[in-house]
């Protein structure tokens, strides 16, 4: 929404927020503040070189003028100036098609190379000029996840804020690109809600540290014990045994573990593998009875048998748990037929089970009291509890303390508090004049009768809704040290800069010394918060954010379960993190001699010798198809729906995500190709007919071959030689979880193809070898993705030369991912708006 629109709303709709008088000041500050450091769009760029127009007249008019507009290009209506993104895209397309010799068509042109080269050079000049003038004009705000990370890290809280805010727009893969991150009145109201939640969580509600709760429980104490003990659970002297693997009912939820207060808890699970000499993997999650509530996975673990001297094992983990959530502990791989236990009873059943003797929860764990956010606001004040009348009220369970703020110099304390909060929130030093609006807001709230603390909270909330907090302050040109510190921190740790980075910025180290900049980058990669980068980048780049977009048909894919879903995502994230931390070559993205596996994935992939529940590095057999992203179940699932695969969807994924090539969208009026759900024809056979249409052939020649190669994998990433069908096909005698499968084996898979270069391949492994022949393209694509993610803008024409230079430098050093990351951070693109 434009600043003028916000101001109009302020003047015409004052009754919308009657309980929030500060909202209007905040909205006006946002509108005017954003306007104050916004940048005007560039002037149109003329395509005036006569050589360009002569070339188009002599070599292009036959097909693209006088009523002819092949490929959607008509020179008669082609603008002679570049006035915006659409004009630029048209002229870049002309440049690229001439450069790649696609146009003019070789069979209809006598164009010599000198004229081609001269035309390309002449056209590149205005394209570079216009894009360079445009790329610094777009403002970039924090996206939802960056906003949540920032507030929680500043104030020492763990509040869920992402889902509170409107969804962020996307530019291609990424949701942190400035041109797609709009702002609305809804955003403004939600930012106020978020600030209230964080301040409420950060500010101490008691004068003394809150108590740490200790909960000891076991299955015999649960309400379900009367129903399940002696039937599907077995009571022992030292615990209870769970035989079932079930995410439905009965499951392993411990109602007596209900969390009394949201926070971080230490969890101790003591038990052993019962009636087996093998480890038993098990799931630990959290569950709530609130309909639609999230059920987070806390981890997968191995429970070994009793030690030779009869000792149990205690598994320890730490996790954030929400109020009234309960632990859910479920063994994996224990397939029990109901009639076994019905016939023999749990006492006579001899199969393995998970024995749980005791579960203990301790928390909320506090690293500090009061929180860093509390100290950030109140360090210059005396904050004392107001004694109730009568004092005996303090002993009541419903009593909530009230506090009074005092100071020997209230004006100085106020200024110091706002200075600390504003400098931390705005990620740079804040001068006295910038504090004036917030001081005035504090005064106006006091005049309305608000207490000192409430007025101070309002002023702090205003800072957290200000443009200098919500937006990256990046004027066009070379970035200053604080802007670079901010960009680096949000790139690698997805949050506000830490003290060491801000200290370096304050001493101008980051602009003065590339070595200092890279040293801080190396430090941030070693931080635990680097995991946020891995999650956010792979969610966007590989589209892992859509892992739950479809639910596999249980009749076609009965082996799909929650353990497999969680494992496939973790495999990809840990694989990518390993490539960076060990500086492995970019070719590992396509083919690698190792994978990050646990027993669930290994079983799914048919790899022997893996018996651990957690994800670890596993060396692969030489002939394995699983090394690299294209053989990972997460990638294969997000590129399919719940029942079948599409070579088109998977082909587009490979060309865009791995190769950095974005095929044109289908022409208007061209319908998609729908699979034959009866299994009588493969999608490949249907695509052969589709590709015969002239308007479809060029793009499908690019995107179909990678998609055909990936047809060897089903929608959940399993290898297949034949398609599964619920219609026609061969019946098979196979059981999954002791149930006979309902699907049939249909037509054979054909994973061969021919690349646009004319090179043919006979299957998936041969296709991977084709990709490995051009590691520079893999590196250039990843460098481009990283620069987009780091800078918050799409790379364009004027960036090409430097990206090509970075790719050459990377090639000279072996294309290691950590090396590539350093080149990106040291680049002019990274350090310039």
579: its two tokens: 């490539």
CA distance 540 to 790: 13
* CB 375 within 8 Å of CB 349: no
Q: Give the CA distances from residue 8 to residues 4, 11, 13, 184, 607, in Å, rounded to whole numbers and listed in that order.
A: 6, 5, 8, 13, 64
DSSP letter (8 states) at residue 478: B
Secondary structure of residue 691 in the 3-state scheme: helix
What is 213-363's CATH number?
2.60.120.260
Q: Which of 204, 261, 196 is nearest to 402 (CA)?
A: 204
Q: Which of 269, 283, 300, 254 is nearest to 362 (CA)?
A: 269
DSSP string, 629-656: GGG-HHHHHHTB-SS-B-HHHHHHHIII
* CB 819 within 8 Å of CB 810: yes
pTM recorded for the entire structure: 0.91
How far out from the chain centre does Cα 296 lie?
A: 16
* CB 382 within 8 Å of CB 405: yes
User: Residues of 745-754 as b/e, b for ≥16 C-beta within 10 angstroms?
Assistant: bbbebebbbe
* CB 790 within 8 Å of CB 756: no
498: its two tokens: 């830490």
For 519, residues 6+ apart whose C-beta sits below 8 A from its C-beta are: none
For 53, residues 6+ apart whose C-beta sits below 8 A from its C-beta are: 47
For 78, residues 6+ apart whose C-beta sits below 8 A from its C-beta are: 90
For 588, residues 6+ apart whose C-beta sits below 8 A from its C-beta are: 579, 627, 628
Q: Give the CA distances from residue 716 to residues 541, 631, 632, 640, 712, in Å, rounded to whole numbers and listed in that order.
A: 19, 11, 9, 8, 11
CA dihedral (418, 420, 424, 427) positive or negative: positive
Taking residue 379's Cβ as centre, other Cβ atoms within 10 Å add up to 13
* CB 201 within 8 Å of CB 157: yes
pLDDT score recorded for residue 90:
87
CA distance 488 to 518: 10
CA distance 481 to 484: 5
Q: Give the CA distances from residue 227 to residues 199, 250, 271, 344, 824, in Å, rounded to whole numbers and listed in that order.
A: 44, 10, 22, 18, 60
SS (H, E, C) 197-250: HHHHHHCCCCCCCCCCEEEEECHHHCCCHHHHECCCEEEECCEEEECCCCCCCC
CA distance 176 to 161: 17
Taking residue 545's Cβ as centre, other Cβ atoms within 10 Å add up to 16
CA distance 254 to 237: 19
* CB 275 within 8 Å of CB 351: yes
* CB 561 within 8 Å of CB 247: yes
How far out from the chain centre does Cα 347 lie?
A: 48
For 372, residues 6+ apart whose C-beta sits below 8 A from its C-beta are: 154, 155, 156, 202
* CB 564 within 8 Å of CB 604: yes
Q: Which of 86, 83, 62, 64 is nearest to 75 (CA)?
A: 64
CA distance 600 to 604: 6
Q: Which of 671, 631, 593 is nearest to 767 (CA)?
A: 631
pLDDT score recorded for residue 832:
96
242: its two tokens: 């769970």
Q: Which of 628, 586, 538 is nearest to 777 (CA)?
A: 586
pLDDT digits (tens, 9 = 90+) for 571-621: 999 999 999 999 999 999 999 999 999 999 999 999 999 999 999 999 999
Domain map of the chain by residue range? 1-39+137-209+372-473, 45-134, 213-363, 544-772, 775-826
Give me the phi and psi of 135, to 5 degrees please: -70, -15
198: its two tokens: 């964080």
pLDDT score recorded for residue 39:
52
CA distance 712 to 723: 9
pLDDT score recorded for residue 427:
97
512: its two tokens: 């003065």
- Packing angle of the helix pair 775-791, 530-541 (nearest 10 deg): 110
Dihedral over alpha carbons 350, 330, 224, 211 (to 10 degrees) = 130
In the block, tokens 């949050």 appear at: 495
108: exposed, middle or buried (C-beta count within 10 Å: 0-12, 13-18, 19+)? exposed
Radius of gyration (C-alpha) of the chain in whole angstroms? 31
CA dihedral (742, 748, 751, 754) positive or negative: negative
Supply angle C-alpha 364, 365, 368, rounded to 5.
125
pLDDT score recorded for residue 693:
54
Positions of the chain with pLDDT under 70: 1-42, 66-71, 107-109, 223-224, 226-227, 230-231, 244-251, 335-342, 664-698
CA distance 506 to 501: 9
313: its two tokens: 């094992």
Q: Which of 644, 583, 673, 629 is nearest to 764 (CA)?
A: 629
Q: Give the CA distances from residue 765 to residues 18, 625, 642, 720, 771, in Å, rounded to whole numbers and listed in that order.
A: 65, 7, 25, 14, 10
Dihedral over alpha carbons 56, 58, 60, 64 (to 10 degrees) = 90
């Amino acid at each position: 929404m434009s600043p003028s629109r916000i101001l109009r709303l302020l003047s015409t709709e004052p009754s919308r927020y009657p309980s929030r008088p500060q909202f209007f000041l905040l909205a006006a500050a946002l509108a005017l503040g954003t306007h104050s450091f916004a940048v005007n769009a560039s002037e149109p760029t003329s395509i005036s070189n006569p050589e360009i127009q002569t070339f188009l007249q002599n070599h292009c008019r036959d097909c693209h003028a006088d009523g002819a507009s092949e490929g959607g290009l008509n020179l008669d209506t082609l603008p002679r100036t570049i006035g915006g993104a659409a004009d630029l895209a048209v002229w870049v397309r002309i440049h690229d098609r001439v450069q790649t010799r696609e146009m003019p068509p070789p069979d209809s042109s006598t164009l010599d190379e000198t004229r081609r080269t001269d035309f390309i050079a002449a056209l590149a000049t205005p394209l570079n000029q216009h894009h360079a003038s445009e790329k610094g004009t777009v403002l970039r705000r924090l996206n939802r996840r960056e906003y949540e990370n920032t507030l929680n890290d500043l104030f020492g809280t763990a509040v869920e804020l992402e889902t509170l805010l409107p969804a962020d727009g996307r530019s291609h893969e990424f949701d942190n690109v400035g041109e797609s991150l709009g702002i609305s009145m809804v955003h403004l109201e939600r930012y106020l809600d978020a600030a209230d939640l964080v301040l409420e969580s950060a500010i101490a509600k008691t004068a003394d540290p809150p108590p740490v709760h200790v909960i000891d429980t076991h299955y015999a104490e649960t309400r379900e014990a009367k129903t399940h003990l002696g039937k599907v659970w077995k009571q022992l002297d030292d615990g209870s045994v769970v035989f079932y693997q079930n995410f439905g009912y009965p499951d392993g939820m411990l109602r007596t573990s209900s969390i009394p207060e949201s926070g971080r808890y230490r969890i101790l699970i003591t038990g052993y593998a019962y009636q087996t000499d093998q480890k038993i993997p098990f799931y630990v999650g959290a569950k709530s009875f609130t309909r639609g509530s999230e059920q987070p996975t806390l981890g997968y673990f191995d429970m070994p048998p009793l030690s030779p001297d009869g000792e149990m094992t205690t598994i320890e983990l730490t996790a954030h748990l929400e109020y009234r959530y309960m632990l859910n502990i479920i063994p994996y791989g224990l397939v029990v037929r109901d009639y076994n236990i019905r016939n023999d009873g749990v006492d006579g059943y001899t199969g393995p089970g998970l024995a749980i003797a005791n579960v203990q929860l301790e928390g909320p764990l506090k690293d500090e009291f009061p929180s860093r956010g509390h100290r950030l606001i109140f360090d210059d004040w005396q904050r004392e509890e107001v004694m109730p009348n009568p004092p005996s009220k303090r002993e009541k369970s419903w009593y909530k303390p009230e506090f009074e703020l005092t100071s020997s110099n209230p004006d100085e304390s106020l200024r110091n508090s706002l200075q600390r909060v504003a400098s931390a929130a705005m990620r740079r030093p804040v001068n006295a004049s910038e504090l004036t609006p917030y001081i005035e807001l504090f005064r106006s709230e006091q005049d309305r009768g608000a207490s000192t603390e409430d007025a101070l909270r309002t002023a702090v909330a205003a800072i957290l809704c200000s443009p200098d907090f919500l937006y990256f302050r990046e004027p066009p040109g070379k970035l200053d040290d604080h802007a670079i510190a901010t960009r680096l921190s949000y790139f690698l740790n997805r949050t506000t800069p830490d003290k060491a980075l801000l200290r370096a910025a304050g001493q101008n180290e980051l602009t003065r010394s590339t070595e200092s900049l890279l040293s801080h980058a190396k430090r941030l990669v070693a931080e635990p918060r680097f995991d946020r980068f891995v999650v956010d980048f792979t969610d966007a780049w590989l589209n892992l954010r859509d892992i739950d977009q479809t639910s596999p048909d249980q009749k076609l894919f009965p082996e799909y379960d929650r353990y497999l879903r969680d494992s496939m995502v973790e495999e990809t994230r840990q694989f990518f993190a390993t490539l960076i931390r060990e500086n492995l070559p970019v070719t590992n993205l396509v083919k690698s001699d190792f994978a990050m596996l646990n027993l669930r994935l290994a079983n799914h992939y048919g790899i022997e010798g893996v018996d651990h529940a957690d994800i670890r590095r596993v060396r692969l057999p030489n002939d394995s198809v699983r090394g690299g992203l294209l053989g990972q179940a997460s990638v294969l699932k997000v590129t399919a729906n719940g029942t079948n695969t599409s070579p088109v969807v998977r082909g587009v994924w490979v060309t865009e995500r791995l190769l950095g090539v974005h095929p044109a969208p289908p022409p208007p009026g061209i319908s998609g190709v729908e699979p034959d759900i009866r299994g009588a024809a493969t999608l490949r056979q249907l695509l052969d007919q589709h590709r015969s249409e002239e308007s479809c052939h060029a793009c499908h020649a690019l995107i179909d071959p990678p998609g055909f190669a990936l047809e060897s994998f089903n929608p959940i990433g399993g290898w297949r030689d034949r398609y599964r069908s619920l219609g026609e096909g061969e019946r098979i005698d196979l059981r999954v979880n002791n149930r006979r499968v309902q699907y049939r084996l249909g037509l054979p898979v054909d994973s061969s193809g021919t690349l646009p270069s004319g090179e043919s391949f006979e299957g998936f492994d041969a296709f991977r070898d084709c990709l490995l022949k051009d590691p520079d393209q893999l590196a250039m694509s990843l460098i481009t993705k990283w620069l987009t993610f780091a800078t918050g803008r799409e790379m364009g024409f004027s960036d090409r030369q430097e990206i090509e230079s970075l790719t050459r430098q990377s090639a000279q050093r072996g294309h290691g991912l950590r090396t590539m990351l350093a080149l990106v951070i040291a680049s002019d693109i990274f350090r310039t708006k």
